[in-house]
A and B are shown apart, each in its own frame.
Chain A
């Protein structure tokens, strides 16, 4: 399952989650995409599999951009971590993990980065109640 397209001068590549590490190491080593610019996810609540995990790459030698998407399901939202290939994945995967609940297999430090310890749920998922707060300080009466 590999689809290619070009949207707004950004090449888009859709792959299966199992092909991720092989594809990305090919992009890095053979296609000179030496910069991982972002890691995020998209939640499609009615779709199966539910999540897109989206990566953006940039090449500082050929000046090309590439968007890599892979679909994972809610039951097992796991993809391989890209930390062994790109150091910048360290923080971005932590954020994606806490906001969408995507698990990155092999991530060395999956603590929350923007949220706090004890936060229940994943706030950027569509089914997180929009006004639900989890205060750390008890409110005044």
Chain B
């Protein structure tokens, strides 16, 4: 048959309402949560050796792309997941706070590794004993450094939380 004579058949025939995908019903929070959980843009605030593990988990074969957390944004204004990867010192703390404050809502914070979680074995004059002393943290990842599976588990747990969360369109700020 000549290619020109192939008839063009509409995907949904005229008048056949049951075959057409015209509307669906959902809760607003479920819809927004579903959209947000698959579009996490991480800001890697990488200060120490956990960075190696962060590289391992973001590239093949572990690949956070599969969870919608693929594209690191190196501007806090474009990201919504702050991954604090490594030790935060007291000298670094004002920078971390400034980065956190520049991020737009909605935003989540992940403490990646023992140092970001609790200071790890740095209990001294130099290190902040856990970034939750400075900024609120949504999910903690143990390990020195964490296994990639642990990080993926944390991303999935965070996604489950985002999916089940309330997502107000109008917040107290505007």
Residues of A within 8 A of B (CB): 114-116, 123, 128, 130-137, 139-140
Contacts and interface: CB of A to CB of B under 8 A. Distances in A.
B125 interface: yes
Contact of A139 (B94, B124, B133): B133
Contact of B125 (A133, A136, A139, A140): A133
Contacts of A134: 90, 125
B91 A136 contact: yes
B139 interface: no
Contacts, number: 39
Contacts of B91: 114-116, 136
A115 B123 CA distance: 16
Interface in B68-100: 90-91, 93-94, 97
Nearest to B129: A133
A131 B124 contact: yes
Given A114-B91, A130-B124, A134-B90, 18 more contacts: A116-B91, A123-B126, A132-B125, A133-B125, A134-B125, A135-B90, A135-B93, A135-B133, A136-B90, A136-B93, A136-B94, A137-B94, A137-B97, A137-B134, A139-B134, A140-B132, A140-B133, A140-B136
Contacts of A132: 125
For the residues of A in contact with B, the DSSP-based class is loop
Contacts of A135: 90, 93, 128, 133
Contacts of A115: 91
A116 B91 CA distance: 6
A62 B94 CA distance: 48
Contacts of B134: 137, 139-140
* Residue of A116, A133, A135, A139 most packed against chain B (CB within 10 A): A133
A100 to B, nearest CB: 13
A133 B90 contact: yes
